Chain A
Amino acid sequence: MSTNAGITEPRGVTRGVLQGFSWLVYVFFYAPILVLIIFSFSDNRNVGVWGGFTTSWYSEFVTDQPLTTALGNSLRIAVVVTVVSVVLGTMAALALERFRFRGRQVFDALLYLPVIIPDVTMAVMLLLFFTQAAKWFGFSKGFATITLSHIAFNISFVSIVVRARLAGMDDNLEEAAMDLYASRWQAFRHVTLPFIMPGIAGGALLAMTLSLDDVVITQFVTGAGWSTLPVYVFSLIRKGVTPLINAVSVVMLVASMVLVALSLVVQRVRGGSPA
């Protein structure tokens, strides 16, 4: 915690109240998740009615063919989306942060657009675009259209995260490297890249999470046989929530926590030995 010298830490009653309040906030955030996890082990079709311990919902998840297909689709899409949007997003961030060029401000504003406009608007635009494109080029909607759509909005998110990191970097570091006869590429590879790596990792995680989560846009641009997990789960809820949906959510939750933990480990290893 960075403390401001002008402000003293609260003491006594104030401190107690503030602490209590912070704990309440945590309870508010995490209690629903805890309930979700507990009921994923309930042996009763009704969520909210405890029917004894069982892991049958997890085995049902593994054997439920539409669910596993949807999960496979989601993962394949998320991996491609993450790789492509991280590369493009980082490049955009570097260009915007480091160079002054004609149209830079327009490009800057355009890049923010996918973050600002409502999902449904973006979804309809993409739907119309792909419909026309499908007519002209004769491809069918599915993996490619979903992946392209996710990349389209993820580039913005990645570049915002990476730019925040770049903005905190001293330009002199790169110049110093080049003074020591590093080529532009070497300076980037050995100075800039390690420094912005946490930003890139964060952007990658964000991109992957957003891709795995997206319902609205995916629903519009998906094609025959390409249901993703959240879209499928969303359509299941219409028939009532069973602990099967809890089990799916827990698996996704654990997976994303593993991802976050991994990225922290990667950052620590990198931070310990700056190349």
Chain B
Amino acid sequence: MNRSHLRWPALVVALLLVLAACGDGDDGGEGAEAASGATDCELNQVDGDLALYNWAEYIDPEHLQAFADEFGIGATMTEYDSNEAMLPVVSAGNSGYDVVVPSDYMVGIMIEGGFVQPLNEDLVPNISNVSDEFANPSYDPEQAYSVPYQWGYTGLAVDTEVVGTDFPRSWDIVFGDAVPEAAAGKVTLLNDPRETMGAALKSLGYSLNTTDEGELAEARELIVGAKDNLLRFDTDSADELLTSGESVIAHGYSGDMFTQFLETDNPERYVFFVPEEGGTRWIDNMVIPLDAPHPCTAHTFINWLLDGEQGAALSNWNYYGTPNKASVDLLNEELNAFVTSPELVPGGLDSVEEIADTGDFETSYTDAFTEAKG
């Protein structure tokens, strides 16, 4: 999911909360009790209404209701707009939520902070449906706390009616000397330090999680050089600028772009790809807060959503990729064609990386990006 500009203030807040929690000796004990609650559950048992804390429009309200009806309980969803807005609420404790859907790097932060409880695998047999490429993520290698919810890529979307189809599938069309003539002044880059610095780093052949100041400086210069061809830095409406003709090359998220293409009269006019040098893959995950009021319901919901049919229903509604191998064949055709297209990731799966938390180095990314934007 899109990363917010709120990142730093929110992390500072979270840190303060952690410190506050550390100072309070009782917390650990209570938390441990809550965590052990899940071991008393049985498969498909529910112990109360489901309280889901999720991104907006990430699940069909009727789909959620179908779960509630099947198990004879209620279900509510509350929405947040960034990982950074969600973290302080959950980490403070007593949030009242049973299942939360953080992105990759945020799962790592939540595990480290001790805000989530380990999953009881006996209650989630459908975990075997998770595709191998999502089974051992770097932020939760044993998959002890999280299961993937949806995923997507960050890459480039191109209007082929203006640019043609004869261009390299490379970051060079925005950063290098291969910018198509028709695209001059009509390129948008994401207004996000990690994504855009990451794109420049990838184009130079470095890791997008680098902690090397020299590499970062090179990437910064690359972005400075690309500004002549830029319409602007834009995250929220990159997809709309493309289909309304204001831009012809847009750096953006696969799910947003794909949904936007389908809204137009001629979706074939646009292509989306991850440049061959590589790009970002993000994965959103389901986790259970340490003090979730209904841990049994939470496990039951996660298991239910990992079912092949439910996973497909989820993707067919929100148009993001499914991490569920039992769902792939049940996806609608357009979506399936898009996510399985060989042109989507010409550099292969090894070329993509998830954004990882670089700790103290995060400010260097933010500073470099601010300098590059000038």
Query: Which residues of A from 222 to 238 have beta carbons under 8 Å from B?
Result: 222-227, 231-232, 234-238
- The CA of A224 and the CA of B90, in the complex, are separated in Å by 12
B9, B30, B82, B92: the one within 8 Å of A127 (CB): B92
At the interface, yes or no: A208 with Cβ under 8 Å from chain B?
A: no
Q: Which residues of B contact A220 (CB under 8 A)?
A: 88-89
| Contacts A135-B93, A241-B236; A226 near B78 (Cβ below 8 A) | yes
Are the CB atoms of B56 and A239 closer together than 8 Å? yes
At the interface, yes or no: B330 with Cβ under 8 Å from chain A?
A: no
Are the CB atoms of B55 and A238 closer together than 8 Å? yes
| Contacts A120-B9, A120-B13, A240-B236; A235 near B51 (Cβ below 8 A) | no
Q: Which residues of B contact A239 (CB under 8 A)?
A: 56-57, 256
At the interface, yes or no: A66 with Cβ under 8 Å from chain B?
A: yes
Interface size on A, residues (CB 8 A): 36
Q: Which residues of B contact A54 (CB under 8 A)?
A: none
Are the CB atoms of A223 and B78 closer together than 8 Å? yes
Are the CB atoms of A124 and B78 closer together than 8 Å? no
Q: Which of A40-48, A98-106, A155-163, A184-192 makes up part of the contact surface?
A: A40-48
Q: How far is the CB of B325 from chain A (nearest CB, A)?
A: 26
A65, A128, A225, A237: the one within 8 Å of B78 (CB): A225
- The CA of A140 and the CA of B16, in the complex, are separated in Å by 23
At the interface, yes or no: B44 with Cβ under 8 Å from chain A?
A: no
Q: How far is the CB of A128 from chain B (nearest CB, A)?
A: 6
Query: Which residues of A from 149 to 197 have beta carbons under 8 Å from B?
Result: none
| Contacts A65-B61, A128-B20, A231-B79; A141 near B94 (Cβ below 8 A) | yes
Are the CB atoms of A225 and B237 closer together than 8 Å? no
Question: Please, what's the 1-or-0 string for A115-127, where 1 marks a CB less than 8 Å from any CB in chain B?
Answer: 0000010001001
B61, B79, B97, B240: the one within 8 Å of A235 (CB): B79
* Complex: chain B residue closest to A118, CB-CB: B9
Query: Which residues of B from 27 to 67 have beta carbons under 8 Å from A?
Result: 30, 51, 53, 55-57, 61
Are the CB atoms of B240 and A124 closer together than 8 Å? no
Question: Please, what's the 1-or-0 string for B80-101, where 1 marks a CB less than 8 Å from any CB in chain A?
Answer: 1110010011001111110000
Q: Which residues of A contact B260 (CB under 8 A)?
A: 240
Are the CB atoms of A141 and B96 closer together than 8 Å? yes
B79, B88, B244, B293: the one within 8 Å of A232 (CB): B79
| Contacts A224-B97, A241-B237; A236 near B85 (Cβ below 8 A) | no
At the interface, yes or no: B351 with Cβ under 8 Å from chain A?
A: no
Q: Which residues of A contact B82 (CB under 8 A)?
A: 238
Are the CB atoms of B239 and A45 closer together than 8 Å? no
B30, B51, B244: the one within 8 Å of A225 (CB): B51
Q: Which residues of A contact B56 (CB under 8 A)?
A: 66, 232, 235-236, 238-239
Are the CB atoms of A225 and B80 closer together than 8 Å? no
At the interface, yes or no: B263 with Cβ under 8 Å from chain A?
A: yes
Q: Which residues of B contact A128 (CB under 8 A)?
A: 17, 20, 92
Are the CB atoms of B85 and A219 closer together than 8 Å? yes
Q: Which residues of A contact B293 (CB under 8 A)?
A: 140
- The CA of A124 and the CA of B13, in the complex, are separated in Å by 8
At the interface, yes or no: A131 with Cβ under 8 Å from chain B?
A: yes
- The CA of A224 and the CA of B73, in the complex, are separated in Å by 15
* Complex: chain B residue closest to A127, CB-CB: B92
At the interface, yes or no: A31 with Cβ under 8 Å from chain B?
A: no
Q: A219-B89, A241-B236 are in contact. List 11 more A-B contacts (CB 8 A).
A: A45-B263, A47-B237, A66-B56, A120-B13, A141-B94, A141-B95, A223-B78, A227-B79, A235-B55, A235-B81, A237-B81
24 contacts between A and B (CB under 8 A): A45-B263, A46-B243, A47-B237, A48-B240, A48-B244, A66-B61, A120-B9, A127-B92, A130-B94, A134-B96, A141-B96, A219-B89, A220-B88, A225-B78, A227-B78, A232-B56, A234-B81, A236-B56, A237-B81, A237-B236, A238-B81, A240-B237, A240-B256, A240-B260
Q: Which residues of A line the B interface, CB within 8 A?
A: 45-49, 65-66, 120, 124, 127-128, 130-131, 134-135, 140-142, 219-220, 222-227, 231-232, 234-241
List 4 tightest A-B contacts by C-beta distance, closest first: A225-B76, A224-B51, A235-B56, A235-B81
